[in-house]
Amino acid sequence: MGFARKVWRLLVDIKDALALLFLLVFFAALFAVLSARPNPGYVRDGALLLDIEGSVVEEVSPVDPLQALLSQTIPTREYAARDLVRAIDAAAADDRIKALALDLTGFLGGGAVHMSEISEALDRFAATDKPIYAYAYAYTDDAMLLAAHADEVWVDPMGGVAITGPGGESLYYAQALDRFNITANVYRVGTYKSAVEPYTASGMSEPARENLTQLLATLWQEWRANVSAARPQADIDLVTTDVAGWLAASGNDVAQASVAAGLADRVGTRVEWGEHIAEQVGKDDWSDEPGAFASTAFDPWIADVDRGLSFGNEGRIGVITVDGEISDGEAGPGSAGAARIARLLDNALDDDLDALVVRINSPGGTVTGSETIRRAIMRHRDAGTPVAVSMGNYAASGGYWVATTGQRIFAEPETITGSIGVFMVIPSFEHALADYGVTSDGVRTTPLSGQPDVLGGFTPEANAVLQATTEGFYTRFLSLVAQSRGITPERADELGQGRVWDGGAARQLGLVDQFGDLDAAVAWAAEQAGIADNDYEVRYLGADAPQYDSLLAQLLMGGSEAQQGNGGHDLASLFARREIDRLGRVAADFDRLMAVEGVQARCMECTAMASSGRPVQGRLPAANSWLSLLAQTIAN
C-alpha cells in the first residue's frame, strides 16, 4: 500500500507539473499574440485609409486584456494625435500613397489643439497635390473641422451636418444634497475657482459665467476661423442661427441642406464614395466588397513609418507626458498617476538625456500629485538638463502647477491654462443620520480629537485647520508661479484666483512664453542643449507599454461596432450618446465627492468644455459607492 501511495503521489505531482507548464505556455503565447505589432508588409500602393473609429487623445490608455476578453467588450478606441499627424505627414512624402481617404463615420472627436494639429497636417498633405476625400454618415463639430480640409466632402444620404458649437450645461447638486441632508464642507481659495460650485450652488456663479463665456467665445472663434479658411464657401451663420429655416429650404433633407450650405460637396453612400476613390487610385484586388479601393489602413501604415525611424542621432530629447487628471498613484498612461510619472522621470536620470520636454494635457488634480511630478522634473533641472513645457488642449490648475518647472512654456491659441487656485470638498452626514435618529457622542481631549468626523460633523477648529491647509497650498502655488514667471506673488494672485485663460490671453499676461506645438518645444530644448542641425532623437518616456487595442478588437467577434458600444452613426445617435455621457457624469461627480482626495488643484471649466477629446462614456470612475447609487436614483 505504501508503494502504491508513493506511485500515486508521483503521478499527481507529474499531473500538477504538466498543468502548470501548460498554463505557463498558454499565458506566454497569449502575451506574445497580444504584444504583436501590425505587419508593415501590408502597405500597398493606393490611398491611405484613415478610418478613425474612436476619439483622438494625447496619450492612449492601455486596455486590460484579461478584463476585455472576459467581458467580451473593449473600450472605444483611442488614437494618439501625434500618431495621426505622423501618419499623414509620412503619407505626403511617400510615392506609394496617391490620396488620403478620411472615413469619419465612427469619429468621436478630440481636443481643440489636437484638431488644429491634425488640420495642419491635412493642409501639408494637400500641398503635395494629392487629393483628400472625406466621408461620414453624420458630421459634428470636430469631424467637420477635419473634413473641411478635404478636397471632397461626402455625406451619406441618411446623414448630414450639425454644428453645435462649444458649450452646454453643467450639473449642480446642491439642492439634491439639501434634500438628503448631506453637508458639503467646502474649503477653497479663488474667486473664480468654480470646481466646488456643483456641490454648493444650484447654478453657475457670475464670476464663473464671465470666465467661461470668454473662453467659449475664443474657442468658437478659432473653430470658425479654421473652417472658414479651409472651406470659404461654408455658410456657418446659416447653419447655426436659423436652423429650422435652413433645413426647411431643402425639404428637411439634412444631407442636401449640408450641401446647400457649402459644408459638404456630394451626397453618396460609403460604397459610392469608395468607388469614386477607386477610379483615382485603383481597385482593391484583394477584396470583392462593394466600394473597396486600393488602400493601406492606419495600423500597418504607422508600423511601417515606425520601422523606418532612425536612432543613430547623437542627441537625446526626452518627452514625459502628463495626460489626464493628476492623482497620487500609478494610474496611466492616459491618466496622470504621479507615482508612475515620477518613476519614469527618475529612471530617465540615468539615460543621459540632453534635454527634457514636459507635455501637459491635464486639467489638474490632487495638489500632492502635482507636487510629486514637479519635484521629479526639478531633479532633472538640478542635474543641469534644460526643461521646456509644451501645453496641449489644457494645462490648468494642477497642470499649471507642473508647468512652473519649465524654463520656457509653449502653448497654442486654443490651449486652456491658468486656473491658479485650490479647493477641497468633504461631505459629512450628521444631519442625514439625525433624520433617522442616529446621533453621536464621546469624549475629546482636544477640539481636533476624532476630526474630521464625516458622521458626527466637523468642529470649528477642524474647519479652521482645513481652510488654513487650503490657503497654505494656494500660497505655495502663488510662490511657484511668481518664481517661474519672474513676477511678484501679488501679481501672481491677480492672475490667479482660479481664473482660466485661453492661450492667447495667457501669452499676453506672461503665463506662457510663446505659441508653438510640441515640435517647437523640442527644437527649443535641443537648442538649449547645444544640439545643432536636428541631430537628435526624441524619446517618449514610458511609451514602450504594450497596447492591445487593435488585436482585441479583432479577437472580440471581429471588433464590431456593437461590441465596442458605438451604436448608430446618424445625428440622432450622436446626440443621444452625448446625453448618456451627461447622465454618466452624475455618478462620476458623486464618486468624486465621496473620494475625498485631499486638496485639489483642478479646473472645472476644462471638464465643462470637454476639451480632453475623450468621451465620458467608459472612462468614468467606478460608480460603486452608495452615494453614486443615490445619484443614479436622482437621474432616473
Q: What percent of the chain has pLDDT over 70?
A: 78
pLDDT for residue 292 is more than 80: yes
Does one domain contain both 227 and 363? no
Cβ burial of 594 (10 Å; 0-12, 13-18, 19+) is middle
**Residues 6 or more apart in contact with residue 157 via CB below 8 angstroms:** 255, 267, 268, 269
Residues 234, 148 share a domain: yes
Query: What kind and span of H or E run contains 233?
Result: none
Annotate 162-221 with DSSP letters as a single string: ----S-------HHHHHHTT-EEEEEEE-TT-GGGHHHH-SS--HHHHHHHHHHHHHHHH
In sequence order, what are the beta bridge partners of 183?
428
User: What's the grid cell of residue 300?
Assistant: 500597418
Q: List the grid coordinates of 296.
A: 493601406
pLDDT higher than threshold 90 for residue 263: yes
Give the DSSP H or E segment for 62: none
Both 286 and 240 in a single domain?
yes
Burial 264-281 (b: 16+ CB within 10 A, else e): bbebbbbebbbbbbbebb
- Asked if residue 220 is part of any domain, the answer here is yes
| Torsion of the alpha carbons at 568, 574, 576 and 577, rounded to the nearest 10 | 90
Indicate the number of domains in the chain.
2
56: in domain? yes
Please indicate, yes or no, whether residues 58 and 103 belong to a single structural domain of this protein.
yes
Per-residue pLDDT band at 564 (split at 50, 70, 90): very low
Question: pLDDT: is 224 or 9 the higher one?
Answer: 224
| 298 and 332 housed in the same domain | no
Integer Cα distance of 578 and 570 in angstroms: 13
Residue range(s) defining the domain that contains residue 396: 315-421+496-540
pLDDT in tens, 238-253: 999 989 999 999 999 9
User: Residue 438 is which amino acid?
Assistant: V
For the cut 60, the answer to whether the pLDDT of residue 623 exceeds it is: no
Q: What is the pLDDT of residue 434?
A: 87
Whole-number Å distance between alpha carbons of 411 and 507: 8
Please say which residue of 248, 274, 307 terminates a domain.
Answer: 307
Q: Which whole number is the average pLDDT over 90-104?
A: 96
The residue behind cell 533641472 is 381
For the stretch 433-490, pLDDT in tens is 888 888 888 888 888 888 888 888 888 898 898 889 889 999 999 999 999 999 999 9
pLDDT digits (tens, 9 = 90+) for 313-343: 778 999 999 999 999 999 889 899 999 999 9
Both 226 and 296 in one domain: the answer is yes
Residue-wise pLDDT tens digits, 507-543: 999 999 999 999 999 999 999 999 887 788 999 998 7
pLDDT bin (cut points 50, 70, 90) of residue 546 is low
541-547 — which CB contacts under 8 Å span 24+ positions? 541/318, 541/319, 541/320, 541/321, 541/344, 541/345, 541/347, 541/348, 542/320, 542/321, 542/333, 542/340, 542/341, 542/344, 545/62, 545/333, 546/34, 546/35, 546/62, 547/60, 547/62, 547/63
Give me the pLDDT at residue 441, please: 86
Residues 358 and 416 placed together within one structural domain of the fold: yes
Longest dimension (CA), the chain: 96
46 and 138 share one domain: yes
What are 206-262's pLDDT values in tens digits? 888 888 898 899 999 999 999 999 999 999 999 999 899 999 999 999 999 999 999
pLDDT confidence band for 35 (50 / 70 / 90): very low
Q: What is the mean pLDDT of the chain?
A: 83
Residue 147 has pLDDT above 60, yes or no: yes
Sign of the C-alpha dihedral computed for residues 412, 415, 419 and 425 taken in this order: negative
pTM score above 0.75? yes
State whether 236 and 372 are in the same domain: no
Cell triple for 382:
538640478
CB atoms within 10 A of CB 588: 19
